Amino acid sequence: MAKAFEQPIYVTRPLLPDFTDITERLRVVWNSKQLTNFGKQHDELSHQLKEYLEIDHISMFSNGTMALLLGLKALKLTGEVITTPFTFPATVQALDWNNLTPVFCDIDPVTFNIDADKIEALITEKTTAILGVHVFGNPCDVEKIQAIADKHGLKVIYDGAHAFGSKINDVPISSFGDMTMFSFHATKLFNTIEGGALTYNNPALDKSLDLLKNFGIASAEEVVVSGLNAKMNEVQAGVGLEVLKVIGEERSKRYIIKKAYEENLADIEGIQILTTLEGESSSYQYFVIRIDEAVFGQSRDAVHKELQKYNVFARKYFYPLCSDFEWYSDLPSARPENLPHAQQAVQQVLAMPYYGDLPVSSVALICGIIRELHITQKSLSQI
Ligand code: T4K
């Protein structure tokens, strides 16, 4: 029987650049006395991210949620937006705060992203957009979604919180749709502690997003729209500049950890790996498995609980389904019978510990715990 880890093993740990580099960067910020409101660090990070993400237009925010919320506002959407129930609450809360009604579409049983084949049936005269989520960094069916949007005159927004740096056939993920949101939260591979961004191709959005995230202030004497305060500050941007220097190394480390998981889980019946993309295609943000109770012999919840006994804190991303939030109980699209694949996914998915400093030996031990659970169950069922 395996021993519990002495220290807790979390689903992730922030990517932390060398502390000396951070203090040097802070010294520059301190000396400048410009702490926020679009200073040099902000502009430099914006420039570097445009290059990294291979996009002409970017707008940075205090966090990913505010980016999405104000991005939807800038697109002047009304009525209904077709989206996925299998996401983090922020995706749908950004709709709520814009007085937009989510229309939940079931997910694809393989990718766990919005099922593009089920979108068209949900379009009404009130629909103005499709909001897809590149869940765990696996891209949505962007071509099919765009074709539907073009046919019906809809906007397309992607929540790419997990997809920083991913590509689809060598094309950067940020190039699809009308805009893509990225999260730079501490738990994300690229982090600014808290932070986020929108990328887009339409230059007209530069101005409206600048206004929306800065109280609608157009000049010292002019306030032209009702905005909010959602700016990225200089310390966040400075941290981002240092993190950007080390993400190549982190991605390589995560590649090795991914391989270790794949090898150790390969022959366990009932375990399927959801994050299969590699190289430039992958964001290396999460390593996620799906547990088929009928084959594995134990439920996802049982595995989650068992791992905790060993001091391993895998996470049920995402749980609960957004369509099950109490405030959507009157929405026909939120009814469980309309979302069979999402209802199944929410019971099966487990995000495993995944970060560059996680020793490969720990991965083997974690997988050993899962294997043991499967073997014990198998022998019990044969008695
Ligand atoms: N859309 C999607 C699809 C998203 O997944 C998210 C965020 C958003 C939109 C919104 O973007 P932001 O507004 O957050 O930029 C975490 C993150 O807070 C959240 O950003 C992320 N998705 C979500 C999937 O994960 P929690 O509630 O799981 O966080 P927490 O505090 O439990 O952290 C998870 C583990 O990470 C901890 O057990 C330990 C470790 N950790 C965490 C923090 C904050 C650290 O080691 N250090 C830290 O500072 O939501």
Q: Whose Cα sits closest to atom 9 in ligand 1?
A: 90
**What integer pLDDT is reported at residue 379 of this predicted model?**
72
For residue 197, the domain's CATH number is: 3.40.640.10
CA of 14 to the centre of ligand 1 (A): 10
244-271 mean pLDDT: 97
Atom of ligand 1 nearest to the CA of 315: 28
Residue-wise pLDDT tens digits, 314-345: 999 999 999 999 999 999 999 999 999 999 99
284-313 mean pLDDT: 97
| Nearest alpha-carbon partner for 337 in 350, 318, 319, 324 | 324
69-81 mean pLDDT: 98
Sheet of strand 179-183: strand arrangement: 57-61, 196-200, 179-183, 155-159, 127-133, 80-83, 101-104
Using the predicted structure, report yes or no on whether residue 383 has a pLDDT greater than 70.
no
Residue-wise pLDDT tens digits, 113-156: 999 999 999 999 999 999 999 999 999 999 999 999 999 999 99
One domain, residues 260 and 197: no
Average pLDDT, the chain: 96
Atom of ligand 1 nearest to the CA of 11: 35
Using the predicted structure, report yes or no on whether residue 1 has a pLDDT greater than 80.
no
Half-sphere exposure of 196 (CA within 13 A, CB side): 25
| Nearest alpha-carbon partner for 363 in 352, 372, 373 | 352
Atom of ligand 1 nearest to the CA of 318: 24
For residue 270, the domain's CATH number is: 3.90.1150.10
Using the predicted structure, report yes or no on whether residue 378 has a pLDDT greater than 80.
no
Q: Whose Cα sits closest to atom 48 in ligand 1?
A: 186
Residue-wise pLDDT tens digits, 12-26: 999 999 999 999 999
Asked whether residue 2 is domain-assigned, the answer is no
CA of 232 to the centre of ligand 1 (A): 18
Q: How confident is the model at residue 375 (pLDDT cuts 50, 70, 90)?
A: confident
- The domain boundary, picked from 220, 242, 264, lies at 242
**What integer pLDDT is reported at residue 380 of this predicted model?**
73
Using the predicted structure, report yes or no on whether residue 100 has a pLDDT greater than 80.
yes
Q: How confident is the model at residue 374 (pLDDT cuts 50, 70, 90)?
A: confident
Residues with CB under 6 A from ligand 1: 10-14, 63-65, 87-88, 90-91, 133, 159, 161-162, 183, 185-187, 196, 313, 315, 317
**What integer pLDDT is reported at residue 2 of this predicted model?**
78
Q: Whose Cα sits closest to atom 29 in ligand 1?
A: 187
One domain, residues 284 and 137: no
Using the predicted structure, report yes or no on whether residue 174 has a pLDDT greater than 80.
yes
Q: Whose Cα sits closest to atom 41 in ligand 1?
A: 13
- The domain boundary, picked from 193, 209, 242, lies at 242
Angstrom distance (rounded) from CA 383 to CA 376 = 11
283-310 mean pLDDT: 97
Residue-wise pLDDT tens digits, 219-247: 999 999 999 999 999 999 999 999 999 99
For residue 231, indicate whether it is catalytic. no
CA of 315 to the centre of ligand 1 (A): 11
**What integer pLDDT is reported at residue 303 of this predicted model?**
97
Using the predicted structure, report yes or no on whether residue 62 has a pLDDT greater than 80.
yes
How many Cβ atoms sit within 10 Å of the Cβ of residue 124? 9
358-379 mean pLDDT: 91
Asked whether residue 13 is domain-assigned, the answer is no
Give me the domain span that covers residue 299: 247-381
Mutate to test the pocket of ligand 1, among 88, 114, 354, 355 (most ligand atoms within 8 A of CB): 88
What's the predicted TM-score (pTM) here? 0.97
Q: Are 202 and 178 in contact (CB under 8 A)?
A: yes
Q: Which pairs with CB-CB distance under 8 Å and at least 24 residues apart come from 217-225?
A: none
Q: In the block, which residue shows the tokens 């519990």?
A: 4
Q: Are 64 and 184 in contact (CB under 8 A)?
A: yes
**What integer pLDDT is reported at residue 327 of this predicted model?**
98
Q: In the block, which residue shows the tokens 């809360």?
A: 93
Asked whether residue 4 is domain-assigned, the answer is no
Q: How many domains does the chain have?
A: 2
- The domain boundary, picked from 224, 242, 260, lies at 242
Exactly one of 73, 188, 213, 258 is catalytic; name it.
188
Asked whether residue 11 is domain-assigned, the answer is no
Percent of the chain predicted with pLDDT > 90:
96
One domain, residues 220 and 283: no
Nearby residues of 117 by Cβ (< 8 Å), 6 or more positions away: 144
One domain, residues 230 and 351: no
Asked whether residue 6 is domain-assigned, the answer is no
Atom of ligand 1 nearest to the CA of 313: 38
